[in-house]
Structure 1
Amino acid sequence: MDPSFEASVFSLVDRGFIYAIAHIRGGGEMGRKWHEDGMLLNKRNTFTDFIACAEYLIENKYGSKEKLCITGGGLLIGAVLNMRPDLFKAVVLVYPSIDVVTSLLDPTIPSTTTQREELGDPRKEEYYYYIKSYSPVDNVRAQNYPNILVKSYLYDTYILYSEAAKFVAKLRATKTDDNIILFKCGLAEWNYSKSGRDEYLSDKASTYAFIMKLLDLAPHASS
């Protein structure tokens, strides 16, 4: 994920947020080796790098555990959520590929081939157990979790909504806290809809509203 200008971020910045992008192994921004160090049997580096970024922000007083909010793709954020739920106030998972072993074993899902190139083929024993060690659905356990919003799309053929639904159901049945967990399922992935730009902005606004509400920063309606 390369740094880029995104006007909507200023909805947060104008309210006192510090906005950070975590550059973690598995991306391509620092060359081929950087990418390879976060794929296949090195994939856990992606998650521990993200955790290290969060810890850095806290240690250097850019934020605190009581206020730190994160958002991103479901595999990354779901894995981090299970590993270090104590680091965050709120977590938003988008397009959540979180039942990883099941989806990689299903050849009818369009993303399976490319995902196997990145994560490995669970039909091979070493990959099966390695992927299962970080798969978000498979690692939910009885512990306290932060406030969570999971977003998915009913007719998204790339990442099935059932993965998100399964994750939310397991979290609700297992977690030991009273924090919020919401599941928002749209009809179609925003960029395939008739009003892609409006859908995108509405989706972004719902994420920001969730975060601001939890930090008691939500704007009040004028009388």
Structure 2
Amino acid sequence: ALSYSVLGSVIEPLRSVVDEDVSRIASPLLVVALMPLGVKYGTLVAPSFYDLVAAGPAFVLQEFGNLGTILIALPLALLLGLKRESIGAAVSIAREPTLGVITDKYGIESPEGRGVLGTYMTGTVLGTVFFGLLGGFAPATGLHPLALSMACGMGSASMMTACSTSLAAAVGGAGVAEDQILSFAATSNLLTGITGLYMVILVGLPVITRLYAVLAPVFGRDTAAAEGGE
């Protein structure tokens, strides 16, 4: 199980808190616990089918928003003192697909692996609260509620739920039904889980690797220029 074999190897005290048998049982039970949520969102998507089809290109193009994560997070990570850890930490919001890609390419014990694991753990602990608050304040940007609802689908069911429900409450029926907001968020979340993986592999990693080589000597602390070319 991820919580024992990966997190336990990084944070040793977790092994004394969570037994290996409990960890192995928790993984399948988590899937079962999320099934009702998946069914609920499935019932919301079908009534909005034609609206979702009409917005099809937008669902695909929104994946390029991952590049915004890189452009903002990478310089900040370097300023905070991260080196190659910043590649794993800033390539995306680091949910399970990204964790798998970085682990397969670099190894979980590598600097990139530690970076993606750090972002993954932070998102697991604080992500739902953060996106719940963000969804409530998002209408202040003036963007269309459906565009904001699509942004709620970032590849995590819990974060998407917190974001979309708080967004629906904040919008308060201003020309957009609550079910429509939730259905757009659920569809976006599903597509992100599929296309987001390829976006990380084909676009995100090549872009952040090259940006690291350029930005590390500028923003990094005691980072050798040669390191960025690895």
Question: Smaller-chain TM-score range?
Answer: under 0.3
Structure (1 or 2) with the greater helix fraction: 2
Q: TM-score, normalised by structure 2?
A: 0.25
Larger radius of gyration: 2
Q: TM-score, normalised by structure 1?
A: 0.26
